[in-house]
A and B are shown apart, each in its own frame.
Chain A
Amino acid sequence: MERDDLIVNDSYALNAHHSEEQGVTIRKKIYLVTVILSVITAIEVGMGVMFKRSEAFTWTAIKWTFIVLTLFKAGYIVMTFMHLGDERKNLRNAVIIPYFVFILYLIFIAITEGLAHYGMDLMFH
């Protein structure tokens, strides 16, 4: 049986093999992302050791810095290591959009409901 997915003229299709030159370019990208991931992790650990949790506004800023750095790391892993960035746009969107729609809703509802008792406190005091 002829396989329909082999016809595609794509750099990551089964029948397309990378040349040595392409390999050099791809490896360069991999090493660059390795350095980026290591540096971000080092910054995160340094910040985690330096700053103590508190009620102050600065902690909120640090917390969001952690989250943004994490999302950067996640982006590099997914787009380069899993080379979703090199896949076709329709596959990329089919993976990312449904996930984020669902997960953002879940985060919103869980945090809202989780913090509901603070609202109750205000009501009864």
Chain B
Amino acid sequence: MAGHAQAEVSKEVLWGGGQSPFGVTYGKMMMWYFLVSDALTFGGLLIAYAFWRASSVDAWPIGEQVFRALPGLEGEYPLAYVALMTFILIVSSVTMVLAVEAGHRNDRSGVLKWMGLTIIGGFFFLGSQAWEWSHFIHGGGGFFNLAKEVTISTPDGGTMTMEAGDRVYMDHHFGHLMEMHLQDPVGVPLTDDGGHVVLTELGEHPHEAHLHSLKVNKYIENETLVEGDDVMKLWNARSENFGFGAPIPGLGADWGGINHSEYATQQGYTNFFFFITGFHGFHVFSGVIINIVIFFMVLNRVMERRKHYEMVEKVGLYWHFVDLVWVFVFTFFYLI
């Protein structure tokens, strides 16, 4: 090209071969391409959820009404638990990026420290999700309005009748303890001690339903009187059918101004919730496993021999991606 005043072209932008135009290694570039394809998968799932929701003519569950339980505590704490889960994941993302940063300085002990904390954060998130799933699968959690009249008999032969519209609080932890608090429609406890109904130890006494000295053994189901053992059998059958926050047998749910059980009528919500959070949880799980593998590689000084910590960076990309997906799951399932 003699005679031309040739502009200096940076070699970095040349695609003629002999160098990496992206300025990254093959492995890191492929990790990015994998993340793009995985992001498309999650994007597709969330968009399918949006499609389902947009095309649904029925009522849709309200996020902050659904996610409001805390382990070991009674009452309602809207979004508190999922906020905790989100925070755990963000913090573990921060420890991961600090591990990557330590790797760039060849700081082996820093990498080990931050990766260790990331792995612990990952386990905390998985544990939180396990509790949340367990809570949903076993049902309960929230106020129900009685759809039908319920008769509760006392051991001394007396009866107590609750009318349609009366408010009942239902809670359920880990499938071992089920508590019911009976309240009148404005939330005043019906009995002196708060009307605590404890349906205890389902495993050992599957058909017992105690209301302190009272015993719940009768209610009207489809205009048929159901008594004794059948109460809990029906409850279990219902739980299996609806899976997610099943209504109490004989009682309709009236949550958030929607006039029937939100979960029971919105199977689509349930399906998408479990599929997408499950798929995300699977990613977290594999991320933890890969993190552990890389952790032991660093421990065995593999990276020192390689003279670089790029493996930490690559698993870091994957781990941040998991956090990134959760940011969207959090918004579209829990907030909107």
Interface membership of B5, Cβ < 8 A: no
By beta carbon, the residue of chain A nearest B49 is A110
**Cβ B22 vs Cβ A94 within 8 A:** yes
A117 to B64, CA, bound (A): 27
**Cβ A106 vs Cβ B44 within 8 A:** yes
A103 to B12, CA, bound (A): 30
**Cβ B23 vs Cβ A82 within 8 A:** no
8 A-B pairs closest in CB distance: A114-B54, A110-B51, A5-B20, A91-B22, A18-B104, A114-B55, A114-B51, A70-B331
**Cβ A81 vs Cβ B331 within 8 A:** no
Q: Which residues of A contact B55 (CB under 8 A)?
A: 113-117
Min Cβ gap A38→B in Å is 7
**Cβ A15 vs Cβ B308 within 8 A:** yes
26 contacts between A and B (CB under 8 A): A12-B24, A17-B106, A19-B105, A23-B104, A34-B90, A41-B83, A41-B86, A45-B80, A49-B64, A52-B256, A70-B330, A77-B323, A78-B324, A81-B96, A82-B316, A87-B22, A90-B22, A91-B29, A91-B32, A99-B36, A102-B40, A103-B43, A106-B44, A110-B54, A111-B50, A115-B55
Q: Which residues of B contact A94 (CB under 8 A)?
A: 22, 32
**Cβ A82 vs Cβ B104 within 8 A:** no
A87 to B336, CA, bound (A): 33
**Cβ B19 vs Cβ A7 within 8 A:** yes
A88 to B32, CA, bound (A): 13
**Cβ A5 vs Cβ B24 within 8 A:** yes
Interface membership of B317, Cβ < 8 A: yes
Q: Which residues of B contact A81 (CB under 8 A)?
A: 93-94, 96-97, 316, 320, 323
**Cβ A90 vs Cβ B47 within 8 A:** no
**Cβ B23 vs Cβ A13 within 8 A:** yes
A54 to B334, CA, bound (A): 15
By beta carbon, the residue of chain A nearest B331 is A70
**Cβ B79 vs Cβ A87 within 8 A:** no
Mark A residues whose CB is within 8 Å of B: 3-5, 7-8, 10, 12-15, 17-20, 22-23, 26-27, 30, 34, 37-38, 41-42, 44-45, 47-49, 52-53, 63, 66-67, 69-70, 73-74, 77-78, 80-82, 87-88, 90-91, 94-95, 98-99, 102-103, 106-107, 110-111, 113-117
- The answer to whether residues A103 and B51 also contact, given A52-B62, A95-B32 and a CB cut-off of 8 A, is no
A15 to B40, CA, bound (A): 32
Mark B residues whose CB is within 8 Å of A: 12-13, 18-26, 29, 32, 35-36, 39-40, 43-44, 47-48, 50-55, 57, 62-64, 78-80, 83, 86-87, 90-91, 93-94, 96-98, 101-102, 104-107, 256, 308, 310, 316-317, 320-321, 323-324, 327-328, 330-331, 334-336
A108 to B216, CA, bound (A): 52
A53 to B320, CA, bound (A): 31
By beta carbon, the residue of chain A nearest B18 is A4
A78 to B324, CA, bound (A): 8
A21 to B335, CA, bound (A): 41
**Cβ A27 vs Cβ B32 within 8 A:** no
By beta carbon, the residue of chain A nearest B78 is A49
Q: Which residues of A contact B36 (CB under 8 A)?
A: 95, 98-99
**Cβ B90 vs Cβ A48 within 8 A:** no
Min Cβ gap B92→A in Å is 11
Choice from A17, A48, A90 contacting B13 with Cβ under 8 Å: A90
Choice from B50, B64, B106 contacting A114 with Cβ under 8 Å: B50
A102 to B44, CA, bound (A): 10
**Cβ A82 vs Cβ B43 within 8 A:** no
A78 to B323, CA, bound (A): 10
**Cβ A66 vs Cβ B50 within 8 A:** no
